[in-house]
Protein backbone atom coordinates (compact mmCIF):
# COMPACT_ATOMS: atom_id res chain seq x y z
CA UNK A 1 0.00 0.00 0.00
CA UNK A 2 1.39 3.42 -0.89
CA UNK A 3 2.01 6.18 1.62
CA UNK A 4 0.71 9.62 0.63
CA UNK A 5 1.78 12.99 2.05
CA UNK A 6 -0.90 15.56 2.83
CA UNK A 7 -0.61 19.24 3.71
CA UNK A 8 -3.26 21.56 5.11
CA UNK A 9 -3.85 24.74 3.12
CA UNK A 10 -4.81 26.62 6.31
CA UNK A 11 -2.33 25.59 9.03
CA UNK A 12 0.37 23.92 6.86
CA UNK A 13 0.18 20.75 8.99
CA UNK A 14 1.87 17.89 7.10
CA UNK A 15 1.36 14.19 7.68
CA UNK A 16 1.56 10.83 5.94
CA UNK A 17 -1.31 8.43 5.41
CA UNK A 18 -1.14 4.85 4.16
CA UNK A 19 -3.99 4.32 1.73
CA UNK A 20 -5.07 1.87 -0.93
CA UNK A 21 -5.01 3.05 -4.56
CA UNK A 22 -8.79 2.93 -4.79
CA UNK A 23 -9.41 4.95 -1.56
CA UNK A 24 -10.63 8.53 -1.84
CA UNK A 25 -8.04 11.16 -0.83
CA UNK A 26 -8.50 12.82 2.55
CA UNK A 27 -9.88 16.36 2.21
CA UNK A 28 -10.20 17.61 5.83
CA UNK A 29 -7.30 18.48 8.16
CA UNK A 30 -7.37 16.50 11.42
CA UNK A 31 -6.05 19.54 13.37
CA UNK A 32 -7.97 22.58 12.12
CA UNK A 33 -10.63 21.08 9.77
CA UNK A 34 -9.14 23.07 6.86
CA UNK A 35 -8.78 21.82 3.31
CA UNK A 36 -6.00 19.32 2.58
CA UNK A 37 -4.05 18.75 -0.56
CA UNK A 38 -2.02 15.72 -1.54
CA UNK A 39 1.68 16.60 -1.87
CA UNK A 40 3.24 15.28 -5.08
CA UNK A 41 6.94 14.43 -4.95
CA UNK A 42 9.19 14.08 -7.96
CA UNK A 43 10.36 10.55 -8.50
CA UNK A 44 13.99 9.96 -9.44
CA UNK A 45 14.54 8.30 -12.78
CA UNK A 46 17.46 5.86 -12.91
CA UNK A 47 18.77 4.33 -16.12
CA UNK A 48 20.57 1.05 -15.56
CA UNK A 49 22.31 -1.11 -18.11
CA UNK A 50 24.00 -0.33 -21.37
CA UNK A 51 22.66 1.76 -24.22
CA UNK A 52 21.81 4.95 -22.38
CA UNK A 53 24.91 6.94 -23.25
CA UNK A 54 25.88 8.21 -26.70
CA UNK A 55 29.21 6.38 -26.44
CA UNK A 56 27.53 3.00 -25.89
CA UNK A 57 26.11 2.80 -29.40
CA UNK A 58 29.16 3.97 -31.32
CA UNK A 59 31.98 1.82 -32.60
CA UNK A 60 35.51 3.06 -32.97
CA UNK A 61 36.56 4.11 -36.47
CA UNK A 62 39.48 1.64 -36.60
CA UNK A 63 38.69 -1.72 -35.02
CA UNK A 64 41.54 -3.22 -33.02
CA UNK A 65 42.40 -6.89 -32.85
CA UNK A 66 42.22 -8.72 -29.56
CA UNK A 67 46.05 -9.06 -29.48
CA UNK A 68 46.57 -5.32 -29.83
CA UNK A 69 48.76 -5.78 -32.94
CA UNK A 70 48.08 -4.14 -36.24
CA UNK A 71 46.81 -6.52 -38.93
CA UNK A 72 49.41 -7.89 -41.37
CA UNK A 73 49.45 -6.01 -44.66
CA UNK A 74 49.69 -8.25 -47.70
CA UNK A 75 51.43 -6.91 -50.75
CA UNK A 76 50.20 -7.92 -54.17
CA UNK A 77 52.69 -8.07 -57.00
CA UNK A 78 51.63 -6.42 -60.22
CA UNK A 79 51.81 -8.46 -63.49
Query: DSSP states of 13-37 as a string?
Result: -EEEEE--TTSPPP-B-TTT--BEE
- Residue 44: what pLDDT? 83
23, 38 contact by CB (below 8 A): no
- Residue 18: what pLDDT? 93
User: How far is it, in rounded angstroms, from Cα 8 to Cα 29?
Assistant: 6
CA neighbours within 13 Å on the CB side: how many for 39? Answer: 14
- Residue 67: what pLDDT? 58
19, 1 contact by CB (below 8 A): yes
CA neighbours within 13 Å on the CB side: how many for 56? Answer: 6
> In a structure prediction context, what are the per-residue pLDDT tens digits for the chain, which is 79 residues long?
888 899 999 999 999 999 998 999 999 999 999 999 999 888 888 777 766 666 665 565 555 555 555 555 555 555 5
- Residue 11: what pLDDT? 95
Amino acid sequence: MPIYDYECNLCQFRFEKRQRFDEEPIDTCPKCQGNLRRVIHSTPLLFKGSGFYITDSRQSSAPKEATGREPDKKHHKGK
